[in-house]
Amino acid sequence: MRYPFASTSLPKRVSPTDGCSAVPSPRFVPWEIAFDIDGVVADTMAVFVEMVREKLGIADFSKEHLTEYDLHRCLPSVAREALDEILWLTLSDEYTLRVPPCPGAPEFLAKLSRYAPLRFVTARVWPESITRWLYQVVPEVPREAITVVATGDPTAKSDVLREMGVRVFVEDRWDTCERLREEGFEVVVYDQPWNRRGDNFLRVSDWREMDNLVRWPSRR
Ligand SMILES: [Mg+2]
């Protein structure tokens, strides 16, 4: 079922500074939204970039260089094994806890938690470390209000979301966005250098923009 406010004719880029006509009406209610974590709530690649600088000595490397989801294509001169090791470290338990949240994400999630449970579906294989990370990012949210499902496979997200009764998903991986849309979900692309392609997805650059897309209950 499509939400009555949903429309495909809205502008691709949504910004509160775009002017009244470009700002869409809030359209998603809190209890129908779920989130990817890495690259959406967690600025995971900030850790990756830092390690590329330190361990590989590429001082001017930045997240803007990550224009592909396949990291080997972003750093073709670096040995595959070296890059795999850095990626493995980035996703390790120890480094996961050092990942900074995307700006505004903790505030948004804390606000959302007042109206709905927080639900996350990640393609990570193991949920434990990223769940602990979430607990530390939103310490005010009761742990029983946070659900994390690790599918180990991005293509498995749609089944999980359907079972959860989720209709709207915020995601940064392009292929996953396309797949979920094909399967009837409303997708919000969280803008990252690796997902900037011509598209007609609803796209947010930060959590303030996401806040504007939520139809918050007037009183609670
Ligand atoms: Mg992601």
pLDDT digit string (tens) for 49-68? 999 999 999 999 999 999 99
CA distance 30 to 116: 6
- 41 alpha carbon to ligand 1 midpoint, in Å? 9
Question: How confident is the model at residue 200, as a pLDDT?
Answer: 85
CA distance 159 to 180: 10
- 177 alpha carbon to ligand 1 midpoint, in Å? 10
Task: Answer whether residue 219 shows pLDDT above 70.
Answer: no
183 against 18, higher pLDDT: 183
Task: Answer whether residue 11 shows pLDDT above 90.
Answer: no
Question: How confident is the model at residue 197, as a pLDDT?
Answer: 86
In three-state form (DSSP H/G/I as H, E/B as E, the rest C), the secondary structure along the chain is: CCCCCCCCCCCCECCCCCCHHHCCCCCECHHHEEECCECCCECHHHHHHHHHHHHHCCCCCCHHHCCCCCHHHHCCCCCHHHHHHHHHHHCCHHHHCCCCECCCHHHHHHHHCCCCCEEEEECCCCCHHHHHHHHHHCCCCCHHHEEEEECCCHHHHHHHHHHHCCCEEEECCHHHHHHHHHCCCEEEEECCHHHCCCCCCEEECCHHHHHHHECCCCCC
Arithmetic mean of pLDDT, 131-149:
97
Arithmetic mean of pLDDT, 106-134:
97
- 21 alpha carbon to ligand 1 midpoint, in Å? 30
Task: Answer whether residue 5 shows pLDDT above 50.
Answer: no
Task: Answer whether residue 2 shows pLDDT above 60.
Answer: no
Percentage of the chain beyond pLDDT 70 is 88
Mean pLDDT of the chain: 88
- 44 alpha carbon to ligand 1 midpoint, in Å? 9
Task: Answer whether residue 177 shows pLDDT above 80.
Answer: yes
The residues, any chain, with a CB within 8 Å of residue 211's CB and separated by 6 or more, are 104, 108, 111
Token pair 């002017």 is found at 19
Cross-sheet strand order for the sheet of 118-122: 146-150, 118-122, 33-35, 168-171, 186-190, 202-204
- 155 alpha carbon to ligand 1 midpoint, in Å? 13
Percentage of the chain beyond pLDDT 90 is 83
- 122 alpha carbon to ligand 1 midpoint, in Å? 7
Task: Answer whether residue 42 shows pLDDT above 60.
Answer: yes
Question: How confident is the model at residue 152, as a pLDDT?
Answer: 95
Phi-psi region at 192: left, alpha or beta (left = phi > 0; alpha = psi -120 to 50): beta
- 220 alpha carbon to ligand 1 midpoint, in Å? 31
CA distance 197 to 211: 23
CA distance 214 to 81: 42
- 19 alpha carbon to ligand 1 midpoint, in Å? 30
- 123 alpha carbon to ligand 1 midpoint, in Å? 8
- 169 alpha carbon to ligand 1 midpoint, in Å? 11
- 210 alpha carbon to ligand 1 midpoint, in Å? 16
Question: How confident is the model at residue 199, as a pLDDT?
Answer: 76
Question: How confident is the model at residue 204, as a pLDDT?
Answer: 96
